[in-house]
Structure 1
Amino acid sequence: MTLDTVKHAKDTPDVEQPWAELGLKRDEYDRIREILGRRPTGAELAMYSVMWSEHCSYKSSKVHLRQFGEKAPASDALLVGIGENAGVVDVGQGYAVTFKVESHNHPSYIEPYQGAATGIGGIVRDILAMGARPVAVMDPLRFGAADHPDTRRVLPGVVAGIGGYGNCLGLPNIGGEVVFDPCYQGNPLVNALCVGVMRHEDIHLAKASGTGNKVILYGARTGGDGIGGVSVLASETFDETGPAKRPAVQVGDPFQEKLLIECTLEVFAEDLVVGIQDLGGAGLSCATSELASAGSGGMRVELDTVPLRDASLSPEEILMSESQERMCAIVEPDKVDRFLAICEKWDVIATVIGEVTDGDRLEIYWHGEQIVDVPPRTVAHEGPVYHRPYARPAWQDALQADDAGALPRPKDGAELREQVLRLVGSPNQASKKWITDQYDRYVLGNTVLAQPEDSGMIRIDEETGLGVAVATDGNGRYAKLDPYTGAQLALAEAYRNVAATGAKPLAVTDCLNFGSPEDPGAMWQFAEACRGLADACQTLGTPVTGGNVSLYNQTGDTAIHPTPVVGVLGVIDDVTRRTPMAFSEEGQLIYLLGETREELGGSAWSQVIHDHLGGLPPAVDLERERLLAQILVSASRDGMIDAAHDLSDGGLIQALTESCLKGGHGARLVVPDDLDPFVFLFSESAGRAIVAVPRSEELRFTDMCGVRGLPAARIGVVDGDTIDVQGQFTIPLAELREAHEAVLPALFG
Structure 2
Amino acid sequence: MINPFSSEEIAAEGIEPQEYEEIVHRLGRHPNKAELGMFGVMWSEHCCYKNSRPLLKQFPIKGDRILVGPGENAGVVDLGNGLQLAFKIESHNHPSAVEPFQGAATGVGGILRDIFTMGARPVACFNSLRFGNLEDTKTRRLFVGVVEGISHYGNAVGVPTIGGEVYFDTAYNGNPLVNAMALGLMETSEIVRSGASGIGNPILYVGSTTGRDGMGGASFASSELTDQSMDNRPAVQVGDPFLEKSLIEACLEAFKTGAVIAAQDMGAAGITCSTSEMAANGGVGVELDLDKIPVRETGMVPYEYLLSESQERMLLVAQKGREQELIEIFHRWELQAVVAGTVIDEPIVRILFKGEVAAEIPSTALANNTPIYHRELSENLPEYVQKAWQWTAESLPDCTVNGIEINGQLRTWNKVLLDLLDTPTIASKKWIYRQYDQQVQNNTVILPGEADAAVIRIRPIEASPTTCKIGVAATTDCNSRYVYLDPYEGAKAAVAEAARNLSCVGAEPLAVTDNLNFGSPKNSTGYWQLALACEGISEACRHLNTPVTGGNVSLYNETLDSAGDPQPIYPTPVIGMVGLIPDITKVCGQGWQSVGDLIYILGIENQPTLGGSEYLASLHGTVAGKPPKVNLNTEMLVQKVCRNAIRQAWVKSAHDCSEGGLGVALAECCISGKLGAEIFIQAKDKQRFDELLFGEVTGQIIVSISPINQNKWESYLNQELEQNWRKIGHTSAKSLTITISDNLSVINLNVKQMFEIWSKAIERRLVV
Q: TM-score, normalised by structure 2?
A: 0.94
Closer, same or farther: CA 720–56 of 1 in aligned 2, 3 Å: same
After TM superposition, list the pairs within 5 Å mapping 1:636-651 onto structure 2.
636-651=646-661
Q: What amino acid does structure 2 have at the position aligned with 1:298?
A: G
> Which blocks of at least 5 consecutive residues in structure 2 are unaligned?
404-411, 461-466, 561-565, 740-744
Higher mean C-alpha displacement, 606-615 vs 460-469: 460-469
The alpha-carbon deviation at position 318 of structure 1 amounts to: 0.6
Q: Which of 623, 626, 629 pairs up with 1:616?
A: 626
Task: Say if 1:506 and 1:568, in contact at 8 Å, map to a contact too.
Answer: yes
| Alignment partner, residue 41 of structure 1 | 32
Separation in structure 2 between the aligned mates of residue 188 and residue 252 of structure 1, nearest angstrom: 20
Higher mean C-alpha displacement, 546-555 vs 706-715: 706-715
The alpha-carbon deviation at position 679 of structure 1 amounts to: 3.1
The percent of aligned pairs where both chains have the same amino acid is 43
The alpha-carbon deviation at position 597 of structure 1 amounts to: 1.7
| Alignment partner, residue 407 of structure 2 | none
Q: Which of 92, 104, 129 pairs up with 2:80?
A: 92
Question: Is the aligned partner of 1:704 residue 2:716?
Answer: yes
Q: Which of 172, 194, 215 pairs up with 1:206?
A: 194
Question: Is the aligned partner of 1:741 residue 2:759?
Answer: yes
Task: Say if 1:51 and 1:380, in contact at 8 Å, map to a contact too.
Answer: yes
1:419-454 Cα distance to aligned partner (Å, 9 max, x none): 111111111111111111111111110011232221
Q: Which of 424, 434, 443 pairs up with 1:446?
A: 443
Task: Say if 1:233 and 1:246, in contact at 8 Å, map to a contact too.
Answer: no
The alpha-carbon deviation at position 199 of structure 1 amounts to: 5.3
| Alignment partner, residue 547 of structure 1 | 551
Task: Say if 2:160 and 2:440, in contact at 8 Å, map to a contact too.
Answer: yes
| Alignment partner, residue 425 of structure 1 | 422
Task: Say if 1:472 and 1:566, in contact at 8 Å, map to a contact too.
Answer: yes
Q: Which of 747, 750, 758 pairs up with 1:729?
A: 747
Question: Is the aligned partner of 1:500 residue 2:487?
Answer: no
Higher mean C-alpha displacement, 428-437 vs 701-710: 701-710
1:709-736 Cα distance to aligned partner (Å, 9 max, x none): 2522111111111111132231011110
| Alignment partner, residue 594 of structure 1 | 603
Separation in structure 1 between the aligned mates of residue 765 and residue 383 of structure 2, nearest angstrom: 37
Separation in structure 2 between the aligned mates of residue 729 and residue 306 of structure 1, nearest angstrom: 67
Question: Is the aligned partner of 1:255 residue 2:273?
Answer: no
| Alignment partner, residue 625 of structure 1 | 635
1:458-479 Cα distance to aligned partner (Å, 9 max, x none): 1113553101111111111101
Q: Which of 295, 317, 324 pairs up with 1:308?
A: 295
Separation in structure 1 between the aligned mates of residue 677 and residue 209 of structure 2, nearest angstrom: 58
Separation in structure 2 between the aligned mates of residue 202 and residue 633 of structure 1, nearest angstrom: 32
Task: Say if 1:99 and 1:196, in contact at 8 Å, map to a contact too.
Answer: yes
Closer, same or farther: CA 247–409 of 1 in aligned 2, 3 Å: farther
| Alignment partner, residue 124 of structure 1 | 112
Q: What amino acid does structure 1 have at the position aligned with 2:395?
A: A
The alpha-carbon deviation at position 228 of structure 1 amounts to: 0.6
Where 1:714 maps in the other structure, the secondary structure is: strand
Question: Is the aligned partner of 1:79 residue 2:67?
Answer: yes
Task: Say if 2:75 and 2:549, in contact at 8 Å, map to a contact too.
Answer: yes
Separation in structure 2 between the aligned mates of residue 58 and residue 155 of structure 1, nearest angstrom: 28
Separation in structure 1 between the aligned mates of residue 37 and residue 398 of structure 2, nearest angstrom: 59
Task: Say if 1:139 and 1:175, in contact at 8 Å, map to a contact too.
Answer: yes
Q: Which of 368, 390, 402 pairs up with 2:391?
A: 402
| Alignment partner, residue 9 of structure 1 | none
Q: Which of 574, 583, 591 pairs up with 1:582?
A: 591
Q: What amino acid does structure 1 have at the position aligned with 2:528?
A: W
Q: What amino acid does structure 2 have at the position aligned with 1:339?
A: L
Where 1:90 maps in the other structure, the secondary structure is: strand
The alpha-carbon deviation at position 405 of structure 1 amounts to: 5.4
Separation in structure 2 between the aligned mates of residue 366 and residue 287 of structure 1, nearest angstrom: 18
Higher mean C-alpha displacement, 640-649 vs 450-459: 450-459
| Alignment partner, residue 604 of structure 1 | 614
Separation in structure 2 between the aligned mates of residue 561 and residue 159 of structure 1, nearest angstrom: 21
| Alignment partner, residue 480 of structure 1 | 484
Q: Which of 167, 184, 202 pairs up with 2:172?
A: 184
Separation in structure 1 between the aligned mates of residue 2 and residue 75 of structure 2, nearest angstrom: 43
Task: Say if 1:98 and 1:127, in contact at 8 Å, map to a contact too.
Answer: yes
The alpha-carbon deviation at position 676 of structure 1 amounts to: 5.6
Separation in structure 1 between the aligned mates of residue 488 and residue 194 of structure 2, nearest angstrom: 33
1:468-496 Cα distance to aligned partner (Å, 9 max, x none): 11111111110111000000001111110
Closer, same or farther: CA 723–635 of 1 in aligned 2, 3 Å: same
| Alignment partner, residue 344 of structure 1 | 331
Closer, same or farther: CA 598–298 of 1 in aligned 2, 3 Å: closer
1:524-562 Cα distance to aligned partner (Å, 9 max, x none): 000000011111111111101100111001112211111
Where 1:395 maps in the other structure, the secondary structure is: helix
Closer, same or farther: CA 646–598 of 1 in aligned 2, 3 Å: closer
| Alignment partner, residue 6 of structure 1 | none
After TM superposition, list the pairs within 5 Å mapping 1:282-301 onto structure 2.
282-301=269-288
Separation in structure 2 between the aligned mates of residue 451 and residue 612 of structure 1, nearest angstrom: 31
Higher mean C-alpha displacement, 369-378 vs 462-471: 462-471
Where 1:141 maps in the other structure, the secondary structure is: strand
The alpha-carbon deviation at position 673 of structure 1 amounts to: 5.1
Separation in structure 2 between the aligned mates of residue 122 and residue 14 of structure 1, nearest angstrom: 37
The alpha-carbon deviation at position 246 of structure 1 amounts to: 5.1
Separation in structure 2 between the aligned mates of residue 304 and residue 171 of structure 1, nearest angstrom: 35
Separation in structure 2 between the aligned mates of residue 296 and residue 618 of structure 1, nearest angstrom: 47
The alpha-carbon deviation at position 241 of structure 1 amounts to: 5.2
Task: Say if 2:399 and 2:689, in contact at 8 Å, map to a contact too.
Answer: no
Higher mean C-alpha displacement, 280-289 vs 146-155: 146-155
Question: Is the aligned partner of 1:565 residue 2:574?
Answer: yes
Q: TM-score, normalised by structure 1?
A: 0.96
The alpha-carbon deviation at position 262 of structure 1 amounts to: 0.6
| Alignment partner, residue 105 of structure 1 | 93
The alpha-carbon deviation at position 201 of structure 1 amounts to: 3.2
The alpha-carbon deviation at position 244 of structure 1 amounts to: 7.3
The alpha-carbon deviation at position 388 of structure 1 amounts to: 2.6
Task: Say if 2:401 and 2:689, in contact at 8 Å, map to a contact too.
Answer: no
Closer, same or farther: CA 409–339 of 1 in aligned 2, 3 Å: farther
| Alignment partner, residue 730 of structure 2 | 717
Higher mean C-alpha displacement, 489-498 vs 671-680: 671-680
Separation in structure 2 between the aligned mates of residue 263 and residue 524 of structure 1, nearest angstrom: 45
Closer, same or farther: CA 325–695 of 1 in aligned 2, 3 Å: same
Structure 1 vs Structure 2 CA RMSD: 1.5
Where 1:418 maps in the other structure, the secondary structure is: helix
Separation in structure 2 between the aligned mates of residue 60 and residue 735 of structure 1, nearest angstrom: 50
The alpha-carbon deviation at position 608 of structure 1 amounts to: 1.8
Task: Say if 2:132 and 2:171, in contact at 8 Å, map to a contact too.
Answer: yes
Where 2:235 maps in the other structure, the secondary structure is: coil
Closer, same or farther: CA 381–404 of 1 in aligned 2, 3 Å: farther
After TM superposition, list the pairs within 5 Å mapping 1:161-172 onto structure 2.
161-172=149-160
Task: Say if 2:377 and 2:524, in contact at 8 Å, map to a contact too.
Answer: yes
Task: Say if 1:404 and 1:606, in contact at 8 Å, map to a contact too.
Answer: no
Closer, same or farther: CA 678–399 of 1 in aligned 2, 3 Å: closer
Where 1:597 maps in the other structure, the secondary structure is: coil
Q: Which of 394, 400, 408 pairs up with 1:411?
A: 400
Separation in structure 2 between the aligned mates of residue 398 and residue 673 of structure 1, nearest angstrom: 29
Q: Between Structure 1 and Structure 2, how many residues are aligned?
A: 734
The alpha-carbon deviation at position 677 of structure 1 amounts to: 4.5
Closer, same or farther: CA 626–594 of 1 in aligned 2, 3 Å: same
After TM superposition, list the pairs within 5 Å mapping 1:529-548 onto structure 2.
529-548=533-552
Q: What amino acid does structure 2 have at the position aligned with 1:662?
A: S
Where 1:304 maps in the other structure, the secondary structure is: helix
Separation in structure 2 between the aligned mates of residue 214 and residue 349 of structure 1, nearest angstrom: 16
> Which blocks of at least 5 consecutive residues in structure 1 are unaligned?
1-11
| Alignment partner, residue 694 of structure 2 | 682
Q: What amino acid does structure 2 have at the position aligned with 1:408?
A: P
Q: What amino acid does structure 2 have at the position aligned with 1:134?
A: P
